[in-house]
């Protein structure tokens, strides 16, 4: 038993190994932070008042928020959202004509339901999606994209 402990101690008593491991871990963490920090998520919580409204405080993409019909079967979290980020995964379903992508944006994971006419972008593609913000079945934030483009 003592010989086994001595062998373990001899393996772990290597300062160069610890330095290399520390540098590699720091590079990996820095890379993850760099990837996750990119993008943005902007939310308009409530529908702006209509008729004589002051457009000065509204973002330029706000008109896209009313260009489609929002889903009725989901809990709506906000009137509209604009997500800009990087695609990390995509899936079809539950309906055959439905496509979803997972986007990492501003340290958050957001699901985007693509319009029926859009093809699913590849992993790593930068995208911008605008539409109402819902709570997905799995609890994630989901943007129903009324406007979708790859950057």
Q: What is the pLDDT of residue 84?
A: 95
Q: In the chain, which ranges are E strands?
A: 40-44, 75-92, 99-105, 108-113, 126-135, 141-144, 147-150
Q: What is the pLDDT of residue 93?
A: 74
H/E element holding 36? helix 15-37
Alpha-carbon dihedral of residues 46, 108, 124, 93, nearest 10 degrees? -70
85: number of Cβ within 10 Å: 27
Bridge partners, 41 (sequence order): 83
- Please list the pLDDT of the chain residue by residue as tens digits (151 residues): 888 888 888 877 888 888 888 899 999 998 888 877 788 999 998 887 765 555 667 888 988 888 888 888 888 899 999 999 999 999 887 777 788 999 999 888 999 999 876 688 999 899 999 999 999 888 889 999 999 998 7
Strand-strand pairing, 141-144 and 126-135: antiparallel
Please tell me whether residue 150 adopts helix, strand or coil conformation. Answer: strand
Which residues, other chains included, contact 44 with Cβ-Cβ below 8 Å and sequence gap of 6+? 58, 59, 62, 65, 78, 79, 80, 81
């Amino acid at each position: 038993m003592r010989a086994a402990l001595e062998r373990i101690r001899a393996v772990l008593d290597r300062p160069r190994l610890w330095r290399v491991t520390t540098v590699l871990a720091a590079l990996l963490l820095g890379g993850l932070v760099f990837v996750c920090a990119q993008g943005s998520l902007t939310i308009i919580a409530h529908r702006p008042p209509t008729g004589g409204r002051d457009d000065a405080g509204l973002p330029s993409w706000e008109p896209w928020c009313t260009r489609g019909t929002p889903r009725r079967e989901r809990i709506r979290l906000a009137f509209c959202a604009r997500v800009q980020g990087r695609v990390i995964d995509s899936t079809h379903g539950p309906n055959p004509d439905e496509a979803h992508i997972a986007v990492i944006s501003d340290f958050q994971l957001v699901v985007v339901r693509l319009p029926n006419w859009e093809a699913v972008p590849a992993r790593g593609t930068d995208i911008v999606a605008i539409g109402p913000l819902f709570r997905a079945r799995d609890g994630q934030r989901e943007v129903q994209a009324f406007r979708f483009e790859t950057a």
